[in-house]
Amino acid sequence: MRVNTSHPSAFITLITSCQPRVFSSSGFTNIDLSKPIEEETLPDYLAERYYPVHIGEIYNSRYQVVTKLGFGSSSTVWLCRDLYHKCYITLKVHVRSRRPIPEVEISNYLRTIQDVHGGEKCVRLVHDSFQVQGPHGVHQCLLYQPAGVDISDFMHYLPEGALPEYLLRPAMRIVLVALDYLHQAKVVHTDIQPNNILLGVDDVSILAEMEEDEIPNPVPRKQLQDRIIYTSCSMPLTNGEPVLSDLGEARFSKEKQCGLIMPSVYRAPEVMLGMSWDYKVDIWAAWTLFEQGHLFKNKSLESTSDHAHRFAEMVSLLGPPPLENLVPIPDQSLEGRESQLEGGEKGIFLQFIRKVLRWLPEERPTALELLSDEWLRGSEY
């Protein structure tokens, strides 16, 4: 599968040579083999799921790996030199899978939209894609415009651990422009979180510096029998405008949908409650994008109790929800459900039932109190 793209040099810094570089095979720190590092520290890590990328390796006859940028449960990420266009580009190597990557399909679709919106510049689309055959299966490789640190990491550098207003306001505008672009295209991101908002790279020379530094100062690594686990290189802070990234969980959505989406800590109430949802789930996560800490203290939603606590937190902050947010309300009444009695007898019976059917246990009468109820006493008195 391929993504048709124009010449990338308009947005990616040029490199000085189209010739492959020779990277150091010595002079680095060897990490203890018994110590888990990088992707090995993930709870579900299985070595055979990951492609064994090597710094200096060339993919698709043109993309040479320069250094490692990061890792996750579904991929590792690398800075590469595009030897054909003489530029830098980011390579994401997915864990093995024969399934098409939805992000490629969505990027293809968005590129076909002819209307100029402006938000297309605020969304990081897949630039190109190809497959590699690994020791244990096929791996999808996606290429992107290089970007800087995510908003979450950026906030850690700030004194208050949150964006000040003068940064928050323009950043929020850019994210909303990006979301408006996606929503008008009938695409729902479904995974809006700080890790998916990246700073742009305005000073392109930092990428060349990262490459040059890898030659005399190769990153520490762990050399295993079948692979090398490299440590990630820290991306310097950049001043570029934010971009919305990672369409890996995005959906085409022309109407409301059902089903579980979003990481639990960012989950909108309609998703948590099993209701239908639409593009407005992307708006729900605005707080956690730019504020210090999570809005809700109860982060897990693994049990019924967790859902109850999260719902209680929502009510405490937002007030009581609309009834339709709890469950669909049937069109019925106690009067309609009672079919055995008529007239006044029915009325006093329903008074009795309404005493019994109270939400709060403390509002329900005792057995002794019910014994004196008018309907229960009947005509004997």
Residue 227 located in a structural domain = yes
**What is the predicted pLDDT for the residue at 55?**
96
Residue 53 located in a structural domain = yes
Token pair of 71 as six digits: 């890792």
207 and 338 both lie in a single domain: no
Q: pLDDT at residue 15 above 80?
A: no
317 and 344 both lie in a single domain: no
Instruction: Kindly state the greatest CA–CA separation across the chain.
Output: 105
Q: How far apart are CA 267 and CA 311, in angstroms?
A: 11
User: Would residue 180 show up in a list of annotated catalytic residues for this protein?
Assistant: no
Summarised one tens digit per residue, pLDDT across range 223-263 is 999 999 999 998 888 888 999 999 999 999 878 888 888 88
Residue 226 located in a structural domain = yes
**What is the predicted pLDDT for the residue at 381?**
44
345 and 243 both lie in a single domain: no
Q: Of 312, 329, 346, which marks where a domain is finished?
A: 329
> What is the phi/psi pair of residue 162, to 5°?
-150, 160
Q: Could you tell me the CATH number of the domain that includes residue 169?
A: 1.10.510.10
291 and 209 both lie in a single domain: no
Find the mean pLDDT for residues 75-86.
Answer: 94
Find the mean pLDDT for residues 10-32.
Answer: 78
Summarised one tens digit per residue, pLDDT across range 291-331 is 666 666 655 555 666 777 777 877 877 788 887 777 766 67
Residue 3 located in a structural domain = no
- The parent domain of residue 139 ranges over 8-254
- Closest by Cα among 153, 125, 130 to 141: 130
Q: pLDDT at residue 14 above 90?
A: no
- pTM recorded for the entire structure: 0.81
Q: Of 222, 254, 286, which marks where a domain is finished?
A: 254
169 and 86 both lie in a single domain: yes
52 and 139 both lie in a single domain: yes
Mean of the per-residue pLDDT values for the chain?
A: 85
- Using 50, 70 and 90 to split pLDDT, how confident is the model at 8? very low
Report the sign of the C-alpha dihedral through residues 86, 92, 97, 98, in that order.
negative
133 and 21 both lie in a single domain: yes
122 and 44 both lie in a single domain: yes
Identified catalytic residue from 191, 202, 278, 331: 191
Q: pLDDT at residue 175 above 80?
A: yes
Percent of the chain with pLDDT over 90: 45
223 and 180 both lie in a single domain: yes
Q: pLDDT at residue 173 above 60?
A: yes
16 and 135 both lie in a single domain: yes
Count up the domains in the chain and report the number.
3
Residue 1 located in a structural domain = no
34 and 152 both lie in a single domain: yes
Residue 152 located in a structural domain = yes
Residue 2 located in a structural domain = no
Q: pLDDT at residue 283 above 90?
A: no
93 and 170 both lie in a single domain: yes
Residue matched to tokens 């060339």 = 58
Residue 345 located in a structural domain = yes
Q: Of 311, 329, 347, which marks where a domain is finished?
A: 329
Report the sign of the C-alpha dihedral through residues 81, 83, 89, 94, in that order.
negative
Is the backbone of residue 351 left (phi > 0), alpha (psi -120 to 50) or beta? alpha
